[in-house]
């Protein structure tokens, strides 16, 4: 209002406009009627200073500006549109756009910007569109966009983003479309998309995702369109997409071999599903996805045999418009599934007789023109999708001769016993290597040599007990290492010195007895460590300190008798600590103090806890989002009032003693808008009652005054809620479990 008023005043002053005309920079073109200035492709090294003050649109495309200093646009405060494409921009200094409170469109595409600092975008309080496409961004820090409360479109396509941390888009209250296409994203933190209530469309196509970020996506309850095409995902599991408003889902050009028929049941409004160009041979009917009206399966090696009959019958009955051309058998090649007669869809050939699932001998998509394609005998290679598969072929030696563009190699369930030096020659593009359940006992030095691009290495379910330091020599990009379900009795030491990028380390279900001082030496980039299900009795005070970036630490199902407080020092980013199912009887003062500033999720369930000190949680506060305390033997809990940011709290199966000492807890629960699950365990007459509803407190001093001030209808509502099921807590834990499960096996 004030803005447009002053603008009116300025334009009403005719002399001001004439003065403006005189100020046009010599090499620019100024249209003073439209208040538009263009200085295209002029090798300008800075923003010209003589631009008319009343200018609203400034086009500086194709210059050579490199740095935008603070306050660069202060002389032209009426700008609404600013275009800085192709300006060789490298740096945007603090306050660069200060004063541009009217700017609604800012285009910074095709520059060399590597960092966005929070202060870089200061002052852009009206901005609606921000284009950062084609820059060099590798990481975005939470808060970078927090000033942009009016933004509705953010384009971060074609950058080098690998990881999205929690709350990275915080503050974008009105954003409708977030474009992250053509990056290298392979990890999305579970809260990365938290706080985006208006988001309707999310584009994540052309990234490196190997599994669906189910939990992160579930935060997007209003999003109607999701683009995920061109990610190397092989499998969509049950309930993989949990998005309440989703209507259009694009899963094209991935590497899908299987889609669970329950994959989308948690997205009840799904209308259009695009699966074109995948490796699907058979699909089960998606009967529970009742709003589905369109499905596209072109470019899949669909086998129109009896196994596709249920799908065909379903699509006819549910009136789904399905584009499903058959790839085999030969007689039906190219025919639309809907035009076949069910009775003609037979299961004859020996290849398909034995098992209902697709046989590996199914036709390749593009046999012609691809004669040079090589593939070891007995394996299937799909050069179009850069996948090679020799799962469960009884192999005893790693085969040679895969297509050199292979990105995913699946060798699960063979019998290799040992991986010798140079087992994977000329697989320079390999990103993901599956060696689960291969009876491997030994990794020789140089076993993975030459796998320069390897990011994911799956060695779960083998018999490895030790690893030679040099085993990982030559695979420096390795970020995800799965060594769970092996025979380790200690952390394989020195493993990290050759793995500078290790991000996630899975060692659960081994027989590790303790964590010692230099176990994690060199693990400076490590963020997630999984040690669940070992025999750990002790964590030495400096065992974790080399992993300074640690965010997630799972120590559940071990033999710890106390919270390893001392070992948590020097972990400023730790946000998730799981200690469930350890024999910890007692938690003392300040047990979590070293990580109190960062901790968000704390698992203390099923410990057999008998005593928790009143100051056990000191330091923890509004940051804490989930607290699991269920299934313990305590009969009261410390004061939880400072936990104002809780989203999940579980107090089930704790034998609360419902007397007046518990009144503060009861009061706290009354005010809380969450399901808590607390039940009285004693005294006998109230056993089994919900703490929230129990009458046990009515005679306590102070009860009446408190109640009098509360509105009656609230109580009724609370009752209905407490009685209904299923519980939110349980659901969200399940989701969490799924989030960490990364592969089909």
Ligand X SMILES: *[C@@H]1O[C@H](CO)[C@@H](O)[C@H](O)[C@H]1NC(C)=O
CB of 418 to ligand X, least distance (A): 12
Nearer to ligand X, 298 or 659 (CB): 298
Among 125, 260, 298, 518, contact with ligand X (rule: CB under 6 A): 298
Site string for ligand X, 319-338 (x = CB under 6 A): ----x---------------
User: 442-478 burial string, b = 16+ CB within 10 Å, else e?
Assistant: bbbebbbbbbeebbbbbbbbbebeebbebbbbbbeeb
Q: Which of residues 40-69 bind ligand X (CB under 6 A)?
A: 41-43
Question: Is residue 412 near ligand X by the rule CB under 6 A?
Answer: no
Among 296, 388, 407, 479, contact with ligand X (rule: CB under 6 A): 296
Half-sphere CA count of 155, side-chain side, radius 13 A: 16
CB of 43 to ligand X, least distance (A): 4
Nearer to ligand X, 486 or 514 (CB): 486
Nearer to ligand X, 465 or 598 (CB): 465
Nearer to ligand X, 278 or 558 (CB): 278
Phi, psi torsion values for 312, nearest 5 degrees: -60, -45
Nearer to ligand X, 276 or 666 (CB): 276
Question: Is residue 463 near ligand X by the rule CB under 6 A?
Answer: yes
CA angle 302, 235, 383 (to 5 degrees): 60
CB of 333 to ligand X, least distance (A): 17
- Determine the Cα–Cα distance for residues 178 and 169; give it in Å rounded to an integer: 10
Nearer to ligand X, 438 or 499 (CB): 438
CB of 298 to ligand X, least distance (A): 4
Question: What letter does residue 700 receive in the DSSP assignment?
Answer: S
Report how far Cα 546 is from the mean position of its chain's Cα atoms.
Answer: 25
CB of 295 to ligand X, least distance (A): 9
Nearer to ligand X, 139 or 323 (CB): 323
Residues 6+ apart with CB under 8 A from 17: 11, 32, 54
CB of 458 to ligand X, least distance (A): 15
Q: How many residues bind ligand X (CB under 6 A)?
A: 8
DSSP H stretches of helix in 236-359? 309-317, 350-353
Residue 22 burial (C-beta neighbours within 10 Å; 0-12, 13-18, 19+):
exposed
3-state secondary structure of 20: helix
CB of 690 to ligand X, least distance (A): 44
For helices 2-12 and 14-22, the axis angle rounded to 10 degrees is 80
Nearer to ligand X, 4 or 43 (CB): 43
3-state secondary structure of 373: coil
Nearer to ligand X, 221 or 489 (CB): 489
Nearer to ligand X, 93 or 323 (CB): 323
Choices 36-44, 411-419, 533-541, 697-705; region in contact with ligand X by CB under 6 A: 36-44
Among candidates 639, 534, 538, 632, which has minimal Cα distance to 585? 632
Among candidates 35, 78, 77, 43, which has minimal Cα distance to 60? 43
Site string for ligand X, 419-458 (x = CB under 6 A): ----------------------------------------
Question: What letter does residue 546 receive in the DSSP assignment?
Answer: T
- Determine the Cα–Cα distance for residues 437 and 485; give it in Å rounded to an integer: 9
CB of 221 to ligand X, least distance (A): 27
Choices 37-45, 112-120, 125-133, 171-179; region in contact with ligand X by CB under 6 A: 37-45
Report how far Cα 196 is from the mean position of its chain's Cα atoms.
Answer: 15
CB of 251 to ligand X, least distance (A): 12
Phi-psi region of 217 (alpha: psi -120 to 50; beta: other; left: phi over 0): alpha
Nearer to ligand X, 126 or 248 (CB): 248
Whether the CB-CB separation of 231 and 208 falls below 8 Å is answered with: yes
Q: Are strands 480-482 and 504-506 parallel, antiparallel or unpaired?
A: parallel
Residues 6+ apart with CB under 8 A from 99: 71, 73, 74, 77, 123
Choices 35-43, 45-53, 447-455, 712-720; region in contact with ligand X by CB under 6 A: 35-43
Among candidates 175, 177, 121, which has minimal Cα distance to 151? 175
Choices 38-46, 217-225, 397-405, 624-632; region in contact with ligand X by CB under 6 A: 38-46
Residue 668: which H helix or E strand, with range? Answer: helix 663-671
CB of 36 to ligand X, least distance (A): 21
CB of 67 to ligand X, least distance (A): 17
Phi, psi torsion values for 475, nearest 5 degrees: -130, 60
Among candidates 484, 529, 476, 525, which has minimal Cα distance to 504? 529
Question: Is residue 223 near ligand X by the rule CB under 6 A?
Answer: no
Question: Is residue 93 near ligand X by the rule CB under 6 A?
Answer: no
CB of 580 to ligand X, least distance (A): 23
- DSSP per-residue string spanning 69-114: -TTTTTT-TT-SEEE-TTS---EE-TTTTTT-TT--EEE--SS---
CA angle 179, 432, 492 (to 5 degrees): 120
Site string for ligand X, 662-681 (x = CB under 6 A): --------------------
End-to-end CA distance of the chain: 60
CB of 395 to ligand X, least distance (A): 18
Question: Is residue 611 near ligand X by the rule CB under 6 A?
Answer: no
- Determine the Cα–Cα distance for residues 278 and 298; give it in Å rounded to an integer: 8
Nearer to ligand X, 219 or 276 (CB): 276
CB of 83 to ligand X, least distance (A): 18
- Determine the Cα–Cα distance for residues 477 and 143; give it in Å rounded to an integer: 28
Residue 720 burial (C-beta neighbours within 10 Å; 0-12, 13-18, 19+):
exposed
CB of 337 to ligand X, least distance (A): 12
Nearer to ligand X, 45 or 642 (CB): 45
Nearer to ligand X, 40 or 470 (CB): 40
Nearer to ligand X, 411 or 547 (CB): 411
Whether the CB-CB separation of 216 and 188 falls below 8 Å is answered with: yes
CB of 116 to ligand X, least distance (A): 28
Site string for ligand X, 249-278 (x = CB under 6 A): ---------------------------x--
Nearer to ligand X, 242 or 442 (CB): 442
Contact positions vs ligand X (CB under 6 A)? 41-43, 276, 296, 298, 323, 463
């Amino acid at each position: 209002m004030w803005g447009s008023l002053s603008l009116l005043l300025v334009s009403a002053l005719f002399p001001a406009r004439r003065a403006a005309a005189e100020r046009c920079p010599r090499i620019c073109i100024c249209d003073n009627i439209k208040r538009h200035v263009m200085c295209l492709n002029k090798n300008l090294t800075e923003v010209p200073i003589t631009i008319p003050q009343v200018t609203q649109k400034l086009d500086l495309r194709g210059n050579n500006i490199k740095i935008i200093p603070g306050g660069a646009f202060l002389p032209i405060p009426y700008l609404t549109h600013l275009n800085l494409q192709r300006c060789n921009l490298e740096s945007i200094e603090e306050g660069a756009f200060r004063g541009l409170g009217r700017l609604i469109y800012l285009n910074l595409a095709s520059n060399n910007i590597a960092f966005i600092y929070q202060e870089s975008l200061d002052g852009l309080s009206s901005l609606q569109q921000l284009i950062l496409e084609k820059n060099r961004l590798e990481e975005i820090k939470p808060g970078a966009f927090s000033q942009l409360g009016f933004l509705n479109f953010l384009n971060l396509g074609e950058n080098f983003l690998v990881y999205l941390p929690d709350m990275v888009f915080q503050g974008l209250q009105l954003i409708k479309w977030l474009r992250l296409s053509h990056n290298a994203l392979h990890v999305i933190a579970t809260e990365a998309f938290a706080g985006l209530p208006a988001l309707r469309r999310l584009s994540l196509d052309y990234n490196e995702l190997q599994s669906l970020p189910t939990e992160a996506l579930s935060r997007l309850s209003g999003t109607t369109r999701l683009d995920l095409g061109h990610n190397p995902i092989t499998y969509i599991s049950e309930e993989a997409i949990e998005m309440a408003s989703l209507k259009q889902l694009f899963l094209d050009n991935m590497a899908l071999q299987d889609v669970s028929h329950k994959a989308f049941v948690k997205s009840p409004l799904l209308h259009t599903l695009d699966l074109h160009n995948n490796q699907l041979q058979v699909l089960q009917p998606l009967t529970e996805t009742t709003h589905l009206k369109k499905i596209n399966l072109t470019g899949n090696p669909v086998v129109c045999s009896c196994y596709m009959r249920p799908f065909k019958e379903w699509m006819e009955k549910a009136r789904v418009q399905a584009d499903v051309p058959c790839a085999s058998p030969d007689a039906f090649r190219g025919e639309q599934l809907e035009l076949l007669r069910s009775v003609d869809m037979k299961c004859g050939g020996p290849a398909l007789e034995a098992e209902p699932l697709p046989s590996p001998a199914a036709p390749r998509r593009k046999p012609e023109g691809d004669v040079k394609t090589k593939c070891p005998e007995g394996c299937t290679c799909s050069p179009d999708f850069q996948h090679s598969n020799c799962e469960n072929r009884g192999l005893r030696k790693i085969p040679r001769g895969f297509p050199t563009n292979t990105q995913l190699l699946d060798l699960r369930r063979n019998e290799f016993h040992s991986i010798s030096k140079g087992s994977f020659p000329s697989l320079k593009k390999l990103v993901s290597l599956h060696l689960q359940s291969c009876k491997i006992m030994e990794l020789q030095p140089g076993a993975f040599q030459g796998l320069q691009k390897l990011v994911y290495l799956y060695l779960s379910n083998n018999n490895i007990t030790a690893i030679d330091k040099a085993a990982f020599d030559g695979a420096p990009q390795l970020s995800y290492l799965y060594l769970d379900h092996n025979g380790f009795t200690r952390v394989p030491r020195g493993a990290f010195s050759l793995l500078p990028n290790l991000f996630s380390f899975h060692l659960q279900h081994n027989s590790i007895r303790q964590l010692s001082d230099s176990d994690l030496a060199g693990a400076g980039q490590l963020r997630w460590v999984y040690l669940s299900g070992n025999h750990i009795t002790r964590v030495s005070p400096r065992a974790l300190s080399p992993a300074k970036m640690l965010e997630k630490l799972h120590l559940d199902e071990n033999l710890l008798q106390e919270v390893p407080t001392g070992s948590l020092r020097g972990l400023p980013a730790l946000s998730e600590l799981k200690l469930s199912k350890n024999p910890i009887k007692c938690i003392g003062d300040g047990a979590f103090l070293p990580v109190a500033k960062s901790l968000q999720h704390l698992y203390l369930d099923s410990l057999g806890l008998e005593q928790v000190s009143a100051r056990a949680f000191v330091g923890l506060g509004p940051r804490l989002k989930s607290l699991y305390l269920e299934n313990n033997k305590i009969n009261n809990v410390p004061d939880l009032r400072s936990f104002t940011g809780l989203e999940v709290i579980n107090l089930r199966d704790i034998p609360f003693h419902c007397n007046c000492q518990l009144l503060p807890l009861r009061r706290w629960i009354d005010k809380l808008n969450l399901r808590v699950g607390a039940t009285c365990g004693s005294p006998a007459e109230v056993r089994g009652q919900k703490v929230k509803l129990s009458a046990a407190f009515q005679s306590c001093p102070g009860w009446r005054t408190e109640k009098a001030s509360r509105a009656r209808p609230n109580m009724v509502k609370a009752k209905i809620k407490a009685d209904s099921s299923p519980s939110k807590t349980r659901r969200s834990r399940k989701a969490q479990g799924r989030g960490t499960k990364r592969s089909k096996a």
